């Protein structure tokens, strides 16, 4: 029986729904979930509250996105003010001032000549936008044959057709096939045989960038538009770039006129103990994709930031011509801009990126303290990120980590799993005692799961 809820009241937001059927959940085993739903109803600071009134410590900043912690008053009030002032403004041949303010503040945070921001609503849209900008750039630059896009095995670049084509996670493509034929992939950098239990960047593996040179020989540089990588691969289970690997990718791209795109949807905004991975690793890409921490996830928003030369190359031709035939109804949405400006202010005022860097050694020590626990085969840490890899149950990949995830949730800790890897990325406001709680809970859980 479905009880109707008064449209005015939002009582529906805090109680278990009577009927779960109508909703089709994303990236979720729907039938398994609906048999035992996990519902969150409120959030503040480092905690969620579940529908049954339990406090859940957030070990994952939501989905790698609530970097400043939940329920930040500055963001709430900025969104409320903007919502009362103006709900929406069209973004094509029109604009509103907050977009310009945000773009300026954002590019001021980024290194080098990453100077022009294009707004989207998600990481997936940012990725597809960056790929399209790369193609448009080469066309504007007199190299229209450069149309191939190179990704990397185990890469995650969201769910658009562009993103899944350059992405390298088989499960994300096999239902849809690869619709972008002009793609190829570099090998991934996961090499536990050499780098097991590595703290920070592994020493072994810079040469794993060299296959890019082979792809250039195979396809011809004149056919390749761009290479896209996550500087640290997050969704595939925290794969940290080997020392010198990203530099080598940059060198090969430069040698052959190929654009380098860093997908910083996860690594942006302090996650690695620096503002951005490109800063941390001192490698400036041509395009950066951002989302998640940009608004502290309070309102959906993504962005692509381009180097000056890319923007300039497109700002040619007749002035009345639209230079890039691309955009979203909600590009630069006023509420998202308000949330982002407030979020960037919090990062600055609370010095959260430096805080993450200061906490990183404690985090590393605590998480690596789990290395002798049951089932653990590898641990990787960088900034405030960790990947804990478990031995798979024979014939049931992912099952052990999934059980660990549900057991942790019952014990009041939100974790994330991908395959048999537990991925951790707490908000950057996490306290040491909470780091201990995260690690103690996971340790106990690993002893309990079969």
Contact between 156 and ligand PLP by CB under 6 A: the answer reads yes
Give whichever of 119 and 140 is closer to ligand PLP, judged by the CB atom: 119
> In angstroms, what CA-CA distances link 233 with 139, 141, 144, 251, 429?
30, 31, 30, 20, 23
Question: 421 has which bridge partners?
Answer: 389, 418
Among 127, 225, 360, 422, binds ligand PLP (CB under 6 A): 127
Contact between 158 and ligand PLP by CB under 6 A: the answer reads yes
Q: Rounded to whole angstroms, how far apart are CA atoms 118 and 131? A: 13
Question: 378 has which bridge partners?
Answer: 389
Q: Rounded to whole angstroms, how far apart are CA atoms 192 and 237? A: 12
**Per rule CB under 6 A, count of chain residues that contact ligand PLP:** 14
| Min dist. Cβ of residue 230 to ligand PLP (A) | 5
In the block, tokens 């963001």 appear at: 75
Give whichever of 273 and 437 is closer to ligand PLP, judged by the CB atom: 273
> Interaction with ligand PLP in 211-270: which residues (CB under 6 A)?
230, 234-235, 263, 265-266
> Interaction with ligand PLP in 260-319: which residues (CB under 6 A)?
263, 265-266, 291
Q: Edge-to-edge strand order for the sheet containing 47-50?
A: 40-44, 47-50, 55-58, 413-414
Sequence-separated (6 or more) residues with CB below 8 Å from residue 5 = 11, 12
Contact between 152 and ligand PLP by CB under 6 A: the answer reads no
| Min dist. Cβ of residue 168 to ligand PLP (A) | 12
> Interaction with ligand PLP in 314-373: which residues (CB under 6 A)?
none
Give whichever of 164 and 404 is closer to ligand PLP, judged by the CB atom: 164
How many other CB atoms are there within 10 angstroms of residue 244's CB atom?
17
Give whichever of 327 and 443 is closer to ligand PLP, judged by the CB atom: 327
| Min dist. Cβ of residue 189 to ligand PLP (A) | 15
Give whichever of 233 and 401 is closer to ligand PLP, judged by the CB atom: 233
| Min dist. Cβ of residue 84 to ligand PLP (A) | 27
How much helix, strand and coil, in percent to the nearest 5, is found in the chain? 40, 20, 45
Give whichever of 124 and 165 is closer to ligand PLP, judged by the CB atom: 124
Among 122, 183, 195, 296, binds ligand PLP (CB under 6 A): 122
Contact between 426 and ligand PLP by CB under 6 A: the answer reads no
In the block, tokens 């406090």 appear at: 55
For 272, the token pair is 């690695």
Stretch binding ligand PLP (CB under 6 A), from 106-114, 150-158, 191-199, 428-436? 150-158
Contact between 387 and ligand PLP by CB under 6 A: the answer reads no
- Yes or no: say if 134 and 231 are a contact pair by the CB < 8 Å rule: no
Contact between 58 and ligand PLP by CB under 6 A: the answer reads no
Contact between 185 and ligand PLP by CB under 6 A: the answer reads no
Contact between 124 and ligand PLP by CB under 6 A: the answer reads yes
Give whichever of 127 and 413 is closer to ligand PLP, judged by the CB atom: 127
What DSSP state is assigned to residue 6? P
| Min dist. Cβ of residue 267 to ligand PLP (A) | 8
Q: What angle do CA 271, 134, 329 make, to 5 degrees?
A: 75
Distance, C-alpha 304 to centroid of its chain: 13
Q: Rounded to whole angstroms, how far apart are CA atoms 88 and 335? A: 8
| Min dist. Cβ of residue 159 to ligand PLP (A) | 6
How many other CB atoms are there within 10 angstroms of residue 433's CB atom?
8
| Min dist. Cβ of residue 149 to ligand PLP (A) | 14
| Min dist. Cβ of residue 322 to ligand PLP (A) | 25
Length of the chain: 450
Sequence-separated (6 or more) residues with CB below 8 Å from residue 418 = 235, 236, 237, 401
Contact between 123 and ligand PLP by CB under 6 A: the answer reads yes
DSSP, collapsed to helix, strand or coil, labels residue 447 as: helix
Binding residues for ligand PLP, rule: CB under 6 A, are: 122-124, 127, 156-158, 230, 234-235, 263, 265-266, 291
């Amino acid at each position: 029986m479905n009880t109707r809820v008064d449209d005015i009241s939002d009582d529906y937001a805090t109680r278990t729904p009577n009927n779960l059927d109508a909703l089709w959940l994303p990236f979720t085993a729907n039938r398994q979930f609906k048999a035992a739903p996990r519902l969150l109803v409120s959030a503040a600071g480092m905690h969620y509250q579940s529908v049954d009134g339990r406090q859940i410590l957030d070990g994952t900043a939501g989905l790698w996105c609530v970097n400043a912690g939940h329920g930040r008053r500055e963001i709430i009030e900025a969104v409320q003010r903007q919502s009362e002032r103006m709900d929406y403004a069209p973004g094509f041949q029109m604009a509103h001032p907050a977009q310009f303010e945000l773009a300026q503040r954002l590019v001021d945070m980024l290194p080098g000549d990453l100077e022009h921001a294009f707004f989207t609503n998600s990481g997936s849209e940012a990725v597809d936008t960056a790929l399209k900008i790369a193609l448009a750039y080469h066309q504007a630059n007199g190299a229209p044959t450069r149309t191939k896009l190179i990704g990397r095995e185990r890469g995650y670049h969201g769910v658009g057709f562009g993103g899944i084509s350059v992405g390298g996670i088989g499960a994300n493509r096999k239902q849809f096939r690869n619709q972008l034929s002009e793609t190829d992939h570099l090998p991934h950098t996961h090499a536990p045989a050499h780098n097991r239990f590595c703290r920070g960047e592994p020493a072994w593996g810079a040469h794993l960038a060299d296959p890019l040179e082979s792809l250039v020989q195979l396809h011809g540089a004149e056919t390749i538009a761009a290479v896209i990588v996550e500087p640290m691969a997050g969704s595939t289970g925290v794969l940290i770039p080997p020392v010198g690997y990203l530099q080598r990718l940059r060198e090969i791209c430069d040698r052959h006129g190929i654009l380098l795109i860093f997908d910083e949807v996860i690594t942006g905004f302090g996650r690695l103990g620096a503002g951005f991975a490109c800063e941390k690793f001192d490698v400036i890409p041509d395009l950066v994709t951002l989302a998640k921490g940009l608004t502290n996830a309070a309102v959906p928003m993504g962005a692509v930031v381009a180097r000056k030369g890319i923007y300039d190359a497109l700002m040619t031709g007749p002035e009345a011509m639209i230079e890039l035939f691309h955009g979203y109804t909600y590009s630069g949405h006023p509420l998202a801009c308000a949330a982002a400006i407030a979020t960037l202010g919090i990062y600055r005022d609370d010095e959260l990126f430096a805080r993450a860097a200061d906490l990183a050694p404690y985090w590393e020590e605590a998480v690596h303290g789990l290395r002798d626990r049951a089932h653990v085969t590898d641990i990787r840490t960088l900034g405030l990120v960790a990947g804990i890899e478990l031995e798979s149950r024979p014939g049931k990949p992912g099952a052990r980590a999934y059980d660990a995830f549900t057991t942790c949730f019952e014990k009041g800790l939100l974790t994330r799993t991908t395959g048999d890897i537990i991925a951790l990325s707490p908000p950057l406001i996490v306290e040491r005692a909470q780091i201990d709680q995260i690690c103690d809970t996971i340790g106990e859980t690993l002893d309990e799961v079969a």
